Chains A and B, each alone.
Chain A
Amino acid sequence: AQSVTQPDIHITVSEGASLELRCNYSYGATPYLFWYVQSPGQGLQLLLKYFSGDTLVQGIKGFEAEFKRSQSSFNLRKPSVHWSDAAEYFCAVNSGGYQKVTFGTGTKLQVIP
């Protein structure tokens, strides 16, 4: 069965600092991997996804993520965080041939001035 772990429940960074959110997945073959963001009171929005090819994926809002098969990881990064990035971030995995996404428990990002 597929699973995804986000080890950090809550992260606080200063505005302008770099950010890395961790995500580890469990699945034998190469899964489809996603990062979604949920702003307060809103639904989820896709930041980026990986399903094949280049292991460094660029997304919206200046985010990127790197798929590392050896570490079963798909960490999300941003070089300089803005106050508007404060939100909940969800890593998700889909290993089957059809849509059945498993979400991580989320990491809440707080941005301080």
Chain B
Amino acid sequence: GQNIDQPTEMTATEGAIVQINCTYQTSGFNGLFWYQQHAGEAPTFLSYNVLDGLEEKGRFSSFLSRSKGYSYLLLKELQMKDSASYLCAVYTGFQKLVFGTGTRLLVSP
């Protein structure tokens, strides 16, 4: 089966740093995606990791450890507009994405 877990909700203050974790157990692995989704909107692509290590892209960074089945998304210098759901998704192959439970992040002033 496929199992991708994330914390349900997180809160943080503006300007802070937050780390959203994702653990996965899937039947195949060809990479891990992070998406941002605002309420009522489609997910937007943030990052893709297929090799172990840290990928940095501006205020957002994503880390992957394939041996541990673990990834995290790091958001720095939080802004109010970062309040959204963050979805971890594993690309299992055959173009199929399996999404995690999603983490709702609330950024407060």
Bound pair (A, B): no
